[in-house]
Structure 1
């Protein structure tokens, strides 16, 4: 059956569905006719990201923290609840307890469970680019490790539930993602650079700016998550854009999109900041038929117009419909 043309409309819960990635996923699921229940504690999620669905009988929003169990009758669970930014995740026990609760729900109602894990499970990788079979190089007691280890534990739990209880699970390892609706001041590099350049502040580059990341546009990621959920493979699957940029190159792309004269300011590097990150996506290409289609230079202006509107309240003049991309 082709993707999106399923026999029956599904009931789907999206934890963290008011967040950046979650709300874009909800848009896609609603657009194809499914009933969607969003469970979000609004820790980093925003109601504004979902307001356009209010009044739709197929959409429901529940304010709830997944560290407390919840009982819902659903067919699929997209478990996205977990702040993915350094500013937020240090405060939050969601990864382990929340994952356990949602796996318990999957077990009770026989739902398929998709875990959004992260490229952080690879730590500061000694292998480049990273394939799914790489075990990673993580410092268990570093400042970032509650996030890395939380996600590693979440993957372990998902696989244990799958192997011992027969729960259908899917694991996505998400690499850096950007786009409209990102938190503006969340400490992630793309949102930092864009917000700083728009506010005419210098862009903060930590260290020498030679560390690399790869950036995928949010609609590419959503397509990958849906293909993974609908497909027959447990994973884990790397979902990311293999286009690799140094922090200085990223700053240049932001200058092109916003202000060629934007200044760059160097600061000492943060602890345990990985030197290189680049996904090997051969597995997703082969088994899910997925690869990203939107380059950084194409996607960034869509995000810039959204940020410009949210920071200054000006209309999206740059590119029409940026927020729905």
Structure 2
């Protein structure tokens, strides 16, 4: 059995995306060789430009819904558009990425005996009637709505991961990721943090759906990636799922007001009707992650937003 503190050949699907690029950096810092696979549907070369000349980094342009033949020790499956704007743009491709992509990385893991991580989502809980959401909660998801391509695609991927674990003995790790933010978010992804920051920096009205009373829990990207690495480093078999997110809850209106304060913006709040199937409450129960991984977020929202705003200030200057 290989030692898990040794240098490994690590595949990161979706490695040019928001989360993937931060993960690639951390893996390189740990001394591993990183194969970054991305089809650049939502990922961008800008996120990994600074890694392209690294001797242990390799970029492969490929769509993970198609099979891939590589020799690897470890796989992080992060490939899938994760914002409503992007995953609803081509819902059939979203399902294919979630389901066929999961099959392809699981087959690769089975053949190479690699440990494989699935980036699942809090969206598997849907619009929950249990709060906060523990891993034991089965969810309340609309299987035929506009968000179903993502929600049900990720639920099916979890099923595949567990069946490969039980039937084929694949060493899997399923993490359910809650709202995450930070530098390298896509400026037009429709997520609430990037939306609010971009609108505030441009002095545009900040769009709130409903009355802004719905809640979310915001985890800074550095904290989340630390959770990924700790989960994958566990020697004992622990397929999960494990919630990874920040248990501190904020209303959407509180977030908007904090962004206006930190950007010193004159933007005003405008209110629009809630979109279909938008969850009213979202907060992780992270008791399992605390116990299993000795992990919990450390970056406070004010600090994380300040670092994210700095990134967007530089990005918008480049774009314009």
Q: TM-score range by the shorter chain?
A: over 0.9
Measured at CA, do residues 135 and 181 of structure 1 come closer, stay the same or move farther in structure 2, by a change above 3 Å?
A: same
Decide whether the 8 Å contact of 2:215 with 2:249 is kept in 1.
yes
The partner residue of 2:50 within 49, 52, 69 is: 52
The partner residue of 1:144 within 144, 147, 154 is: 147
Deviation for aligned residue 1:54: 1.4
Higher mean C-alpha displacement, 82-91 vs 259-268: 259-268
Supply the RMSD in Å over aligned alpha carbons: 1.1
Deviation for aligned residue 1:73: 0.5
Q: Does 1:114 align with 2:112?
A: no
Q: How does 1:203-282 map to 2 (within 5 A)?
A: 203-231=206-234, 232=236, 233-282=238-287
> Which blocks of at least 5 consecutive residues in structure 2 are unaligned?
none
Return the alpha-carbon distance in structure 2 between the equivalents of residues 234 and 203 of structure 1: 40
Decide whether the 8 Å contact of 2:203 with 2:266 is kept in 1.
no
Deviation for aligned residue 1:30: 0.3
Deviation for aligned residue 1:57: 1.7
Alignment correspondent of 1:323: none
Alignment correspondent of 1:303: 308
SS in 1 for 2:216: strand
CA deviations 1:5-41 (Å, max 9, x no partner) are 9542000000000000000000000011000000000
Deviation for aligned residue 1:244: 0.5
CA deviations 1:168-200 (Å, max 9, x no partner) are 000000000000000001100010000000011
Residues paired across the two proteins, number: 310
SS in 1 for 2:247: coil
The partner residue of 1:187 within 187, 190, 211 is: 190
TM-score, normalisation: structure 2:
0.95
Q: How does 1:151-166 map to 2 (within 5 A)?
A: 151-166=154-169
> Which blocks of at least 5 consecutive residues in structure 1 are unaligned?
315-325
Decide whether the 8 Å contact of 2:173 with 2:232 is kept in 1.
yes
Return the alpha-carbon distance in structure 2 between the equivalents of residues 116 and 167 of structure 1: 16
Q: Does 1:293 align with 2:291?
A: no
CA deviations 1:53-81 (Å, max 9, x no partner) are 11222100000000110011101000000
Return the alpha-carbon distance in structure 1 between the equivalents of residues 61 and 318 of structure 2: 27
Alignment correspondent of 1:88: 86
CA deviations 1:200-243 (Å, max 9, x no partner) are 10110001110000000000000000111111322111000011
